[in-house]
Amino acid sequence: MAATRYNSGDLRRQVGSPRAKNNRDTKETLCRNVVIYGHCRWEDSGCTFNHDQNKASGSQADLNSNRRVFNVESPSFTPANQQQPAGKKSTFSSQAASAAPFTPRGVGTSTPTLQQPGDSTIFNPAAIREFTPQNYDVGNTISQNGAQNVTQDGGLYSDPFSISSLGQSMPPTGQYNPYANDPNNLAGAGAGLYQPAGFGNGLVHPPNYHLYQPPSELYRPSLQPYQRTTYDFFIPKDRRENLQKKLFHMQQLLPNSGLPNLDRWHSLFPLDTKATRNSTCFGYPSWMYKAQNNKNGRHFALRRIEGYRLTNEKAILNVTKEWKKVINANVVTVHEAFTTEFFGDSSLIFVYDFHPLSETLYDHHFPPNNGHNRLRNTNKIPENVLWSYVCQIANALLAIHNAKLAARCLELSKIIWENNRIRLAACSILDVLHHDSPNRKTIEELQQEDFVKFGRIILALATNTPTLNFNNIDTALATMAPRYSTQLKGVLEWLIKPSAPGETKTVETLLGGMTTHLANFANFVMQESDEKEFHLMRELENGRIARLMFKLSVVNERGDSCGVHNWSETGERHLLKLFRDYVFHQVDADGKARLDTNHYLSCLSKLDASSEEQILLTSRDNATVFVVSYRSIRQMLDRAYGELGKESKPNTTGPTI
């Protein structure tokens, strides 16, 4: 019976039940097999000791304490492979008789009676608190299905490392700023407004720019003059990556941001790199957002003037009407202005063109040092860069002053920069805010102030000093004299210092004194335009190849069509399938796929040009061979595509390939 109750393969050593020296009180003595192993295999085979741990009593404990538990005269256990030293008898110490009996922990649900009272060393899992990572509030997280999770004190807790709880419990000092220079870096303090799109639902990765990344120029193979690499057929990697980043940032979203949807604008996204309220320039706190228009789907930049209550509606209509006429390459175009209360206050909104990947001139040349407010830019700005800034701001002022307006807001923080291209980004705002001011200055006075602010901006960049920190203009001009040319210093003196009595500064006078630099800047712009046009022409050729691929994909592998069974395999359409195999399914001598982009582009370019060059087309079973020209294949492709066009529905609309 014991063999059926216990496994014969039990590796634990099973010993017989100890025999008592007399039969007195054997029914009340707890079997040592139960104490040590938790059960006795001879319980039903004649063991006379007690096997119920709950039946022990205090009298038994007293009896056991007065009785010798161990026989000190009995020999100790000696392994068979270990020899005992001669002349030495191994016995238990006399103190072993008073030792407490061994009681295993966790045997059943009841507590053995031999447990010493007051012993608190037993492991209790209910008294141990679960580990909770620091800086994670798992008690207040919301699960993905919207149910409130129970805190750990209630016995249940949410996973602190799950994506849904991670997005709501991250500390605000390390969140992601999508408009930083490096999208992979974390923003510093004050970036609590920025999180990547879908942060609460999954991790967001930047676009796979490395898919277009060519090998390093250091490892470029030695090519013959007529040879090209794959990347020579496409747009340069730097320009492609810049365009892809712009598209990525235009589609950037901020879920659960709390920003409202305006009447005709949705998907607002904050553009400010600092979460501090600044009212230095306008007298009111201002914020920048990216938003998408409901009507045309375009993205615009919205500048919000917080807490401004409009008293004259004609101020918005008249000002925006005049500023919409200013179309200049160095001025951010103003589209409209309106008031709203969707932000919880009376706010004034100005709508501008949105230029992705732009940053202010202040952030570009005076970046903070590791998130602190200390400026770390001590490098000298090249003089040709400063002259390009002078030419561009002068171009902007020329268009503004000719429209009988004044820029007014000329500050480093209100001019955006993108690849040495600058634009005035806060025009028309002060005209609306000060429209009904009793101390409003005339346009001529405001235009003269534009020249002073213009000079202070260039001087701040030349001396690596923010404009607000100027104490002495003459000292600043003397500081830049050893570092830059006399002509640049003279232009800045003319801009900053007051003009002689009866003399009025004009942009034409300024441009007349720097014609050489204007010519150099115009030459640089035209060279860059030629380079972009060259790459555009090359992409145009790639577009023609894409149209050919569309046609081939429509014709090849098409089943029943035009009333013909297996249409693409009959007639001259079969040659188009063989041409597809000739271009894309070639193999080498070992039967491995031949991947040659140059071959693909060369064949498709010859097909697009209807070349008279002849090629050999072979079926896959090598049973049929055709010698045809690219011109003939192009005619076959056009006829096959034309047949499909005739069969298509008459109401089908779309561009013709």
Tens digit of each residue's pLDDT (9 = 90 or more) over 4-18: 444 444 444 444 545
Q: What is the distance between the alpha carbons of residues 365 and 216, in angstroms, rounded to a whole number?
A: 30
Q: What is the 3-state secondary structure (H, E, C) of 619-640?
A: CCCCCCEEEEEHHHHHHHHHHH
Q: What is the 3-state secondary structure (H, E, C) of 464-479?
A: CCCHHHCCCHHHHHHH
What local confidence, expressed as pLDDT, does residue 93 receive?
55
Cβ neighbourhood burial of 45 (10 Å; 0-12, 13-18, 19+)? exposed
Look at 77-91, 94-108, 347-361, 400-414 and tell me which has the smallest mean pLDDT: 77-91
Look at 81-95, 391-405, 415-429, 582-596 and tell me which has the smallest mean pLDDT: 81-95
3 state DSSP class of 649 = coil
Q: Would you say residue 251 has pLDDT above 70?
A: yes
3 state DSSP class of 248 = helix
What is the edge-to-edge ordering of all strands in the sheet holding 415-418? 359-360, 415-418, 421-424
Kindly report the CA angle at 443 between 438 and 447, in degrees rounded to 5? 125
C-beta of residue 350 within 8 angstroms of C-beta of residue 316:
no
Q: What is the 3-state secondary structure (H, E, C) of 104-149?
A: CCCCCCCCCCCCCCCCCCCCCHHHCCCCCCCCCCCCCCECCCCCEC
Residue 596: CB partners within 8 Å, gap ≥ 6? Answer: 586
What local confidence, expressed as pLDDT, does residue 148 receive?
40
Sign of CA dihedral 566, 571, 572, 578: positive
Transcribe 150-179 into DSSP letters: PPGGGT----TTSHHHHHHHS-GGG-B-TT
pLDDT tens, residue by residue, 397-455: 999 999 999 999 999 999 999 989 999 999 999 999 998 888 889 999 999 999 999 99
Which DSSP helix (H) or strand (E) runs through 389? helix 383-402
What local confidence, expressed as pLDDT, does residue 495 receive?
94
According to DSSP, the β-strands at 347-353 and 265-270 are unpaired
Confidence of residue 220 (pLDDT cuts 50, 70, 90): low
Instruction: State mean pLDDT over 624-644.
Output: 91
What local confidence, expressed as pLDDT, does residue 490 receive?
93
> Which phi and psi angles does 367 have, rounded to 5°?
-70, 150
Looking at residue 39, what DSSP letter applies?
S
Residue in the structure block whose two tokens are 């230095």 = 280
Q: What is the distance between the alpha carbons of residues 212 and 632, in angstroms, rounded to a whole number?
A: 35
Encoding tokens for residue 275? 């979460």
Q: Would you say residue 333 has pLDDT above 90?
A: yes
Which DSSP helix (H) or strand (E) runs through 325? none
294 to 268, 336, 452: CA distances (angstroms): 12, 15, 41
Encoding tokens for residue 640? 């096959």
Half-sphere CA count of 422, side-chain side, radius 13 A: 30
C-beta of residue 412 within 8 angstroms of C-beta of residue 405:
no
Confidence of residue 583 (pLDDT cuts 50, 70, 90): very high
Average pLDDT, the chain: 75
Confidence of residue 656 (pLDDT cuts 50, 70, 90): low
Among the listed residues 467, 522, 463, the one whose alpha carbon sits nearest the alpha carbon of residue 488: 463
Q: What is the distance between the alpha carbons of residues 197 and 503, in angstroms, rounded to a whole number?
A: 56
3 state DSSP class of 598 = helix
What local confidence, expressed as pLDDT, does residue 143 receive?
40
Q: What is the distance between the alpha carbons of residues 640 and 31, in angstroms, rounded to a whole number?
A: 96
What local confidence, expressed as pLDDT, does residue 160 receive?
39
What local confidence, expressed as pLDDT, does residue 108 receive?
46
Encoding tokens for residue 442? 């005339």
pLDDT tens, residue by residue, 291-332: 999 988 899 999 999 989 888 888 899 999 999 999 999 999
Q: What is the distance between the alpha carbons of residues 141 and 147, in angstroms, rounded to a whole number?
A: 9
What local confidence, expressed as pLDDT, does residue 78 receive?
59
Report the predicted TM-score, pTM, of the whole model to 2 decimal places: 0.60
Q: What is the distance between the alpha carbons of residues 260 and 349, in angstroms, rounded to a whole number?
A: 13
C-beta of residue 480 within 8 angstroms of C-beta of residue 459:
yes
Alpha helices in 405-514 (DSSP H): 429-433, 443-463, 473-480, 486-496, 507-512
Residue 442: CB partners within 8 Å, gap ≥ 6? Answer: none
Q: Would you say residue 73 has pLDDT above 90?
A: no
Kindly report the CA angle at 630 between 627 and 631, in degrees rounded to 5? 110
Q: What is the distance between the alpha carbons of residues 390 and 488, in angstroms, rounded to a whole number?
A: 10
Confidence of residue 81 (pLDDT cuts 50, 70, 90): low
Q: What is the distance between the alpha carbons of residues 420 and 393, in angstroms, rounded to a whole number?
A: 12
According to DSSP, the β-strands at 334-340 and 299-305 are unpaired
Give buried/exposed letters for 559-568 (b at 16+ CB in 10 A, else e).
eebeeeeebb
Among the listed residues 369, 378, 359, 373, the one whose alpha carbon sits nearest the alpha carbon of residue 463: 378
pLDDT tens, residue by residue, 486-544: 999 999 999 998 888 888 999 999 999 999 999 999 999 999 999 888 888 877 777 78
Which DSSP helix (H) or strand (E) runs through 418? strand 415-418
What's the chain's Rg over C-alpha atoms?
A: 43
Confidence of residue 205 (pLDDT cuts 50, 70, 90): low
Cβ neighbourhood burial of 179 (10 Å; 0-12, 13-18, 19+)? buried
